[in-house]
Chain A
Amino acid sequence: DIQMTQSPSTLSASVGDRVTITCRASQSISSWLAWYQQKPGKAPKVLIYKASSLQSGVPSRFSGSGSGTEFTLTISSLQPDDFATYYCQQYNSYPLTFGGGTKVEV
C-alpha cells in the first residue's frame, strides 16, 4: 500500500500569509495526486487534481506542484474562508489512500 504523509499536521497562520503544505508518498505516484479542503461538519471539496490542475471554480490563490513522491499545496494569500483541514489523496493505485490531514488555524 502507498502511504501518504502530510506535514505539518497543524499550521498556525494569519490572513494574507503564504501557506505551504507538503505531502510525501511512500513510492512514486507520478502526478496522480489530489488535494481536498474540508470544513467542520462538511464534505471534502476537491481543490487540485493531477498534482497541479486547478479544479473548476477554485480560487487561483490555490496551487499544487510536485511529482513522483513529493507534492505541495500552496495558498498564496490566506483568506478567512481558507481556515480548514486539507488532505492529499493518491490515485495511482488501489488501495486509494489519504494523507492524515493538515489543519490550518489562526
Chain B
Amino acid sequence: EVQLVESGGGLAQPGGSLRLSCAASAFTVSSNHMTWVRQAPGKGLEWVSVISSGGSTYYADSVKGRFTISRDNSKNMLYLQMNSLRAEDTAVYYCARGGCIATSCYVYFDYWGQGTLVTVSS
C-alpha cells in the first residue's frame, strides 16, 4: 500500500530554517512527480513546490529562493529545505504523489501524507 509519512515540522523563529522529510513506501519517489502543498490554519490549499520524475524543480513565487525541494532515491525520501522562514509560512505541509495513467505522469495528486505542522514565531 502506498504511504507517505512527513516529519520535521515544529517551531522555528522568523529567519530560521527547517527541513521537512517525507518517507515513501510501496513506490519509488523518482518514478512519479512529487509535491509539497501547504495549508495555513483555517485556510485553503496552497501549492509550494514540485520535483518532476526527471528531476526538474518548480516553486511558487512565495517560496522561490527560500525553499528547496529534493529527493534521495536511495532512501526513497522527499525533502523540503525551508530557509529564511516567515510568519506567513506557518502551515500544515503535505507531501503528495503525482498521478500516473499508463505511462504518462501528471501533477494532480493521488496519495497524500498526513501532514506536518510548521509554526514560525518568535
Query: Chain A: residues with CB nearer than 8 A to chain B?
Result: 32, 34, 36, 38, 42-46, 49-50, 55, 87, 89, 91, 94-101
Q: Which B residues are CB-close (under 8 A) to A91?
A: 106-108
Q: Which B residues are CB-close (under 8 A) to A46?
A: 99, 108-110
Interface size bracket, B side: 20 to 34
- Pull 6 A–B residue pairs with CB atoms less than 8 Å apart, ordered by A: A36-B45, A43-B112, A43-B114, A44-B112, A95-B59, A98-B46
Contact, CB under 8 Å: A94 / B99: no
Dominant SS among interface residues on chain A: loop
How many Å from the CB of A35 to the closest CB on chain B? 9
Query: Chain B: residues with CB nearer than 8 A to chain A?
Result: 35, 37, 44-47, 50, 58-61, 94, 96, 99, 101, 106-110, 112-115
